[in-house]
Structure 1
Amino acid sequence: MKFVDEATIFCEAGKGGNGCLSFRREKFIEKGGPDGGDGGDGGSVYLEVDGSINTLIDFRYQPRYRAKTGESGSGRDCTGAKGADIVLKVPVGTTVIDVETEEVLGDLTKVGQRLMVARGGFHGLGNTRFKSSTNRAPRQTTPGSLGEERTLRLEMKVLADVGLLGMPNAGKSTLIRAISSAKPKVANYPFTTLVPNLGVVSVQPHRSFVVADIPGLIEGAAEGAGLGIRFLKHLVRTRLLLHVVDMAPYDESDPADVVRAIEVELDKFSETLAGRERWLVLNKLDLLPEEEREQVCSQLQEKLGWSGPVYKISAISGEGTKQLCFDIMEWIEARSAEEAEDESLAEAERALRIRMDAEAREKLQALKAARAKKRSNEDDDDFDDDDDDDMEVVYAP
């Protein structure tokens, strides 16, 4: 199945049914009075989280949704039927944004969670509603109101405790295969990973965490190079970043320069995300002579001035991965316990994620606008205003 993590849809709630103008008519009852019923409410549009869905691809093929209109009222005080609601299934981790106002309507993070995105119109009132001691035969009714219309942007972000960060071919996919049951594609060329992958890491019975592997970044990703920064938004929900470093690069580049390049791209994307807890994971040590490993790792730490946690592993052989997973589990449990005891810490964590979401959304929208402007300029350059019968018009894809 194709991985789609963003889609734009149009939702229109149903119109409310009109009220009825009717008078009671029965044999031997000359003036029975008003008996016009109310209309039914229009149907609403809801989004509901379904745990079996992991992509927004269905919304690419069907972007418009309209709920049913409520039926009009009828005589004998009969109320019109309510319009049927529409419930659209979305994956866990979907953020709902109003395109016109850029307001975040909701963040759907739990299976079964439901959000109303377009409210159905209110029902019209029948003439029975207007009868009084001074108005014995009212002819007033009201029409049903229109339902809400909204253009929404759905953004899906994978839910994970730990995110893997690094250059292409750093060994992120190999690491997630080594510590979980996930089976992402692994090959000896860059950009093997084209979509995010999730893996559940079980440390002990009833002790596990979720790790996310995103496509690798390269220098200039913030300006759209390589796969760009499209998938970096999936890291804003993680609690811990593992910066996987290839200690034996095939191009003999300096690992310290590679780490700094990634840090620059991360900071351009979101300063808040760049300040997240991050551990260095020095991978592919099995490709270095055993007597040189410690020296090479120490030199890297000195060049970076790194004072945080450092783990030396070989993902393909599993060396060092068990201790890494155990320490991650300990860290996550400690943070969860602190937030459970102190509500202010939990609130700070929520505020931090909201800020990262906003920064990521702003950066991605700016990048899209820049790309659209570039395509527009290319179209203008392709157009030649000379009166030439042999003129060729080129349309940019």
Structure 2
Amino acid sequence: MGMAISSRLDTARTFATVLLPTLAKGVIVRRPGVMALSEKLQSDGTAIDTMRHLRDRYGPEPVRLRVTGRSIAILVDPTDVSRLLAESPEPFALATKEKKAALKHFQPHGVLISEGMIREKRRELNERVLRPENVPVDAIVRDEADLLTRHVMSTGELTWDAFAQAWWRVVRRIVLGDRARDDDQLTDDLKELRENANWAFLHPRQRDLRERFQRRLDEYLDRAEEGSLAAQPGDLSGQVPHWLFAFDAAGIVTMRALAIGARGTNGILESARLWPTTPVILRESTKPTRWHGTWLPKNTEFVVFTPFFHRDPDRLPYADEYAPEIWDGPRDPAIVPFSGGPGVCPGRDLVLATGSAMLDALSDHLAFPKLSAPLPRTLNHFGLRMHATPTGTRVS
């Protein structure tokens, strides 16, 4: 059987409607202007249509793009997604060339771009430290949610800027302790480094900025404030930048969950299904691998475009609806908001605990209008301004 290699036209269409718009929105930190345009154009809907075309024309094999000097294969079959994630990091490495180039800007020692025994040790550290029981998540979230609720009651609406300010206070307290609560400079420096990382190879590294950020971070870690992740034993310094990076995505998921009237853990999971904050999962093969009777060469870059698998109307009757019940039982193997297999997000439970606590704390006191089905394929969180009415329960 021959390899499914897309035509030049389909390769161009895939780059134009799937890969380049995803890069333009910002893979490491979202770009507000591009997100606003993407929502206006509903660009994820166009991307999903392209993916359906690739599957119908070339599937179920991975579809190889016609690219000179690089083997790139896009997955179109859910069981292939399951296999790719289950067989990571060997033979499908998480540390792809593109990922290394991007993440080295702000977290050169992060587990995501580590390999071999070093990766195993760092992975074990992440799994041990990133547990909700290590931090008083509910108490921290309630504190900040109460302040945010008062602000929203006085203005009559919840905006992304107000939510993000409260969210980052929560995150800094959980990760580094109460002393870091108001240290906007720390997370602003990280944001600038992440903006550079959006450009991966194309942006020079800002060593002075990175050193300033790392020095400030290490001061909090040296204090090891009780009741924060910083108090956990282990060499946390190289891992914390990634935790802060991941909590940014968690805030986006939580704000969108409020916009659909979601509650609890399933509400957070559904928000992450409907609008995945990791739109592209990448793996790179360390040896030739066989797919549906076809061999793909070593160093093939495998691409999983998650919005397609999460919102495919041909496979999922609930594709464009809020369907929290799907999380209570077995579900489609390609619905992977926190990735899957050995590379699954080690902070998944902590993120779910923090997001659902914020969701429930705000929803206890405030009611927001809900987006109705069919839900938009692209939702610009920066532009969310939600009219809020008190529910009658007083803020303690």
**TM-score bracket, shorter-length normalisation:** under 0.3
**TM-score for the superposition, normalised by structure 2:** 0.23
**TM-score for the superposition, normalised by structure 1:** 0.23
Higher RCO (C-alpha under 8 Å, 6+ residues apart): 2
Larger radius of gyration: 1
Per residue, is there more helix in 1 or in 2? Answer: 2
